[in-house]
Structure 1
C-alpha cells in the first residue's frame, strides 16, 4: 500500500537519553567538559612522567637510608633531579590537592545556587520530581564522577612515583604529596561537593554561595593541614636512638636534657652519633645528659590517611544531611 499511496514507511525516532541523571549532565556539560579535559591532561602527564621516571632516578640516585640528616636529600634533589619529572609531578599533586576548592565553588554557584536563583529547581519540582530526589541526583552524579576521576589520578600518581623517586616532589608528609597519594584526596573532593551544595541551598544565590563555599573549604583544609600529624600518636625515642633520625620520618620535636633537668628544644648537639662510645665523647665536658626525638615515621602514612578521610567523610555526610533537612523544612 505504501507504494501505491506514495508514502514511505515511518521510522522509529532516534533514542535520546532522558531522566534526571542525563538532565544533570546536560545542564552542567561545560563543567563536565572542563573537568574531563583536566583529567585527561593529568593522566597523559603522569603516564609520560612514568616513562621518564627511571632517568630521573638515575640522575639523583637514592638517599642513603643511614644518613642521619635525611632532609639533606632535598638539597641534592633540588640541584640534580630531573626538573621536568619533579616539577611535573608536583604540579599534578597540587591540582589533585586543591580541586576541593573548585568543586566547592562550582557546587555552591552552579549545582544548587544558580538553579534556585533562576527558578530552574522549582520548575523541576512541579514536574513530578520531588525536592529530595532533585538534590539526591545532583549530589550523586558528580560524586560518582569525582570519586572515579580522583581515584584514577591517585593511582597513576603513585605509579609514577614508584617509577622514579617517590621523594622528588617532597616527603610523604608534604601537604600536596600526602593528599594526592591516598583516599583522602577523594574525601576532600566529596566534602567540597557537599559543603558547596549546602551553601547554595542556604543562600540561594550563585555568587554569595560560591564565596561561602570557598571560605568554608579553605577553613576545613587549613585546620586539617595544621592538625594532621596529631591525628595519630607519634613515636618517641630517647638516648642514642634519638640522634639517628629514621629515614623519611617527619621530626616533630627534638632536643636535649641538661643535668639540671632543663629541656633544650633547639639543641642539635651530637646528632648523627652512631655508637655509645662516640656519644660519651660528644657529651664529655658538657651539661647534656640525654636526648629525645618525637616523630611520625613513614609507616604512619596509612593510619593518618584513614583517620583524615574518616573526618572528611563525616563532614560531607553532615553537610549532605543538613542540605536534605533544610530542603525538607522549606518544602514540607
Structure 2
C-alpha cells in the first residue's frame, strides 16, 4: 500500500520563512547608514547639477549684464574673461569637494565604530560566528557591501564633478588659482574612502571598543589626508587637469594692464580701474600620470589594511 503526499497549501507555502543571506543581514543591520549615504549622494549630486545648470546660467547672465564675460578659444590654450562678480559661484564651486572629503572621514569612522567595533563589543559578532557564518565570511560581507555602495556613489559624484569642471570652469574668478580639488576629479576619489573603510575595519578589530575605535580611526585617516595634501612624494603641485599659465587684467577703458593681484577687493579694483581679468590655461602634462599613480598607492594601502584586518580577525577568533 502506498501513501500519497499532498502538497502543502499555497497559504502555508507563503508563510514559510524565506532564506536571508549574510549580505541581506548586513544591509538590514546598517540600513540607517545606508539611507544616510544615499541621501548624501543624492544631495551632493543635486548640488552639482544645480551648479552645472541654474547657478552657472545665472552667473553668466550676471557677468553679461556688466558688459563682459565670455570665452576666447585658441589652438593650444583658452583665455577666459571674468569679473569679481563671479566670486560667489567661485566659492560654491569647491563646496562639493569639501563634502566628498568629509564623507571619506565619515566612512572611516563608520567602519571602525558601528560596522565592526560595536558588534565585537556587544557580542553580536561572536554570536554570528557560532552559527553558520565563519569570521572570515562575516568580515568579507562587512567590507564588500559598503565598498559597493561607496564605489557607485562616488563614481556618480566624480562624473558630475568632471562635467561641471569642463562645462563651467571658465566661471571661476580668473586671477585666483583654483584650489586643489584633491580626490574630486579622478579615480582617487573612489580609492580614498575604500582606504578609510579598510583602516576603520582594521582599527575596529584591533581595539574592539566603539568610542576608542572612532577616535583612532579619525586620527589615522587625518594623518593619511594630511600626508597626502602636504608630503605625498609624487604629488608635487598638481591640482587640476588644466594649469594656470598667466593672468592679466583689463581696465575700464578696455586696455590690457598688469594683474594687480586683487581679485575680490573692490577698493583695490576701483583704485586700479579694473573691470575684468584674463587667464590662460594649458593642459597639465602630468596630472593623469600622478592621479593614476596616487590611485594605485591608495588601493595598495587599502589592500594591505584589509589583509591585516583578516589576519587580526583570524588571531582573535581562534
TM-score, length-scaled by structure 1: 0.70
Q: 1:31 to 1:233 in 2, by over 3 A?
A: closer
Measure how far apart 1:16 and its partner are. Answer: 5.3
CA offset digits 1:250-275 (Å, max 9, x no partner): 9xxxxxxxxxxxxxxxxxxxx99xxx
Measure how far apart 1:98 and its partner are. Answer: 2.6
Distance 1:182 1:134 in 2: 32
Which residues of 2 match residues 38-77 of structure 1 at below 5 A? Answer: 38-52=40-54, 53-57=56-60, 59=63, 61=69
TM-score, length-scaled by structure 2: 0.73
Q: 1:103 aligns with which of 104, 107, 124?
A: 107
Contact residue 54 and residue 164 of structure 1 kept, 8 A: no
Q: 1:226 to 1:249 in 2, by over 3 A?
A: farther
Contact residue 57 and residue 164 of structure 1 kept, 8 A: no
Aligned equivalent of 2:234: 231
Q: 1:80 aligns with which of 76, 85, 89?
A: 85
Measure how far apart 1:61 and its partner are. Answer: 3.4
- The alignment status of 1:28 with 2:30, answered yes or no, reads yes
Cα RMSD (Å)? 3.3
Q: 1:222 to 1:9 in 2, by over 3 A?
A: closer
Distance 1:44 1:224 in 2: 28
Distance 1:171 1:320 in 2: 38
Aligned length: 262
Distance 1:143 1:248 in 2: 36
Q: 2:305 aligns with which of 319, 324, 327?
A: 319
Contact residue 183 and residue 305 of structure 1 kept, 8 A: yes
For structure 2, the residue ranges without an aligned partner over 5 or more in a row are 1-8, 247-257, 260-281
Aligned equivalent of 1:298: 284
Distance 1:40 1:89 in 2: 17
Q: 1:312 to 1:9 in 2, by over 3 A?
A: closer
Distance 1:24 1:17 in 2: 14
CA offset digits 1:223-246 (Å, max 9, x no partner): 011134x416789xxxxxxxxxx9
Contact residue 57 and residue 165 of structure 1 kept, 8 A: no
Measure how far apart 1:57 and its partner are. Answer: 4.6
Contact residue 93 and residue 180 of structure 1 kept, 8 A: yes
Aligned equivalent of 1:168: 172
Which residues of 2 match residues 188-207 of structure 1 at below 5 A? Answer: 188-207=192-211
For structure 1, the residue ranges without an aligned partner over 5 or more in a row are 1-7, 236-245, 251-270, 273-295
Measure how far apart 1:12 and its partner are. Answer: 3.5
